[in-house]
Amino acid sequence: MKIERDFRIRIVLPSDLQLKQAKLFCCWQLKHLLREYEHIVKQRLQQSADLFSFILELKTVLEVCLKSRPECRSMPPPQYYTQLISEMETLGWDKMLSIDTNFQTLKLKAEDSGGRQHVLNIKLKSKHPIEAPECSADLPIPLNINWTPQSTLDQLHSQFLLVLESLAEFWDVLDEIDRKTWVLEPEKPSRSDTMRQIAIRDNVSIRVDVDPRHPKMLPECCLLGAEHVVTPLRNKLNANMHIWNPDTSVLHNLRDVLEIEFPSSATHEKSSFSAECGICYSYRLETSVPDQVCNDPRCGQPFHQACLYEWLRALPSSRQSFNLMFGECPYCSKPITVKMATQKS
């Protein structure tokens, strides 16, 4: 396949016409292409016998460069840029966060009804708008975009706004939890995260997973902590599940169902719920916090699931049954059980 491309280049020679002292200026497209071959170009400029020889060698370098970069063989035609500029003017340049030097990867900003800022990542194809672009965003659901050869960026942005509006109540629910409780995990939640691990008291927490499409319905709940503390809370959850009211907030419902008040920044310091793992002596292990607790009320030492599993696995007195490891607490020697540490992808 023959590659034909035109580039602008200017070579400034010194008065003695020696190539070694020559200066090379080129258009940004050529500069972008040659950035990985700069040392070769400089070498050929130093060693070429004359200007004509250098031009021939530069042409050879460019051909090698283009053959090794498939995307360069499918550079958009001129009408692509005309179409793109027209669409951006209709959309409004104030909605653009960034665009790459090839004018093919864009980041557009959008705001939902709750005032939250979002980013739509768009990768345009060289046959835009005939080919549908690749789109992605930080969302808890797949981003499904309807596209036809007549579609525009403005229409794409409008579809994105509709998706954001459909998720506004979901983000309202999680924002209230983030604002009014101590969230242990995730440490820095993204807009795609549906889970929150909320502190209840020292070494006791609840993990809730909110459904993005039905955010005010009863979420999946998992109580974490020593069994003698968690069991009464689990019983309340099961007994009071029928009073869950989808017309009120998730946080309000959790308070009523569990019959508790969640600690918040107004009542507690987060350090109160940041007990270190009794094995690795750190609070955070990658993205995990200590959520395995010794069931003996006189001990109550917390551990990371992975740390406790590896500790027990190394002891000859421990035994494993299916995905459970049975052994003794490293602190009080009372019986303790842990599930096999799950592998994070």
* Side chain identity, residue 334: K
pLDDT category at 108 given cuts 50, 70, 90 is very high
> Where in the chain are the domains?
9-73, 78-166, 170-271, 277-339
pLDDT category at 143 given cuts 50, 70, 90 is very high
What pLDDT is attached to residue 272? 65
Fold classification of 170-271 (topology level): Ubiquitin Conjugating Enzyme (3.10.110)
pLDDT category at 271 given cuts 50, 70, 90 is low
Q: How many CA atoms lie within 13 A of 78 on its CB side?
A: 1
Q: Is it the case that residue 70 has pLDDT exceeding 70?
A: no
* pLDDT digits 0-9 by tens, 213-236: 999 999 999 998 878 888 999 999
Lowest mean pLDDT among 70-84, 132-146, 254-268: 70-84
Spatial distance between the Cα atoms of 168 and 123, rounded to a whole number of angstroms:
25
* pLDDT digits 0-9 by tens, 114-124: 999 999 999 99
Q: Is it the case that residue 56 has pLDDT exceeding 90?
A: no
pLDDT category at 8 given cuts 50, 70, 90 is confident
Tell me what percent of the residues of the chain surpass a pLDDT of 90: 43
Mean pLDDT value across residues 147-166: 96
Torsion over CA: 135, 141, 144, 145 (sign): negative
Q: Is it the case that residue 265 has pLDDT exceeding 80?
A: no
**Regarding predicted confidence, which is higher, 5 or 304?**
304
pLDDT category at 270 given cuts 50, 70, 90 is low
Name, in order, each residue with C-beta under 8 angstroms of 224's C-beta and a sequence gap of 6 or more: 197, 204, 205, 206, 207, 230, 291, 293
Write 39-43 long-range contacts (CB < 8 A, 24+): none
**Regarding predicted confidence, which is higher, 262 or 48?**
262
Written out in words, the top-level CATH class of the domain with range 277-339 is alpha beta
Write 309-315 long-range contacts (CB < 8 A, 24+): 309/338, 309/339, 309/340, 309/341, 310/341, 311/279, 312/336, 312/338
Mean pLDDT value across residues 158-186: 95
Q: Token pair for residue 173? A: 């629910």
Do domains 78-166 and 170-271 share one topology? The answer is yes
Q: Is it the case that residue 187 has pLDDT exceeding 60?
A: yes
**Regarding predicted confidence, which is higher, 5 or 307?**
307
Q: Is it the case that residue 44 has pLDDT exceeding 60?
A: yes
Q: Which of 4-13, 163-172, 272-281 has the highest mean pLDDT?
A: 163-172
Write 58-64 long-range contacts (CB < 8 A, 24+): 58/9, 61/34, 61/37, 62/5, 62/7, 62/30, 62/33, 62/34, 63/3, 64/37
Provide the mean pLDDT of the chain.
86
**Regarding predicted confidence, which is higher, 3 or 169?**
169
* Residue recorded with tokens 């907030």: 249
What pLDDT is attached to residue 4? 56
Name, in order, each residue with C-beta under 8 angstroms of 67's C-beta and a sequence gap of 6 or more: 3
**Regarding predicted confidence, which is higher, 21 or 170?**
170
* pLDDT digits 0-9 by tens, 126-136: 889 999 999 99
**Regarding predicted confidence, which is higher, 113 or 284?**
113
| Omega before residue 302 within 30° of 0, cis | no
* pLDDT digits 0-9 by tens, 281-316: 888 887 777 878 888 878 888 888 889 988 888 888
Tell me what percent of the residues of the chain surpass a pLDDT of 70: 93
The CATH H-level (homologous superfamily) assignment of domain 78-166 is Ubiquitin Conjugating Enzyme (3.10.110.10)
pLDDT category at 1 given cuts 50, 70, 90 is very low
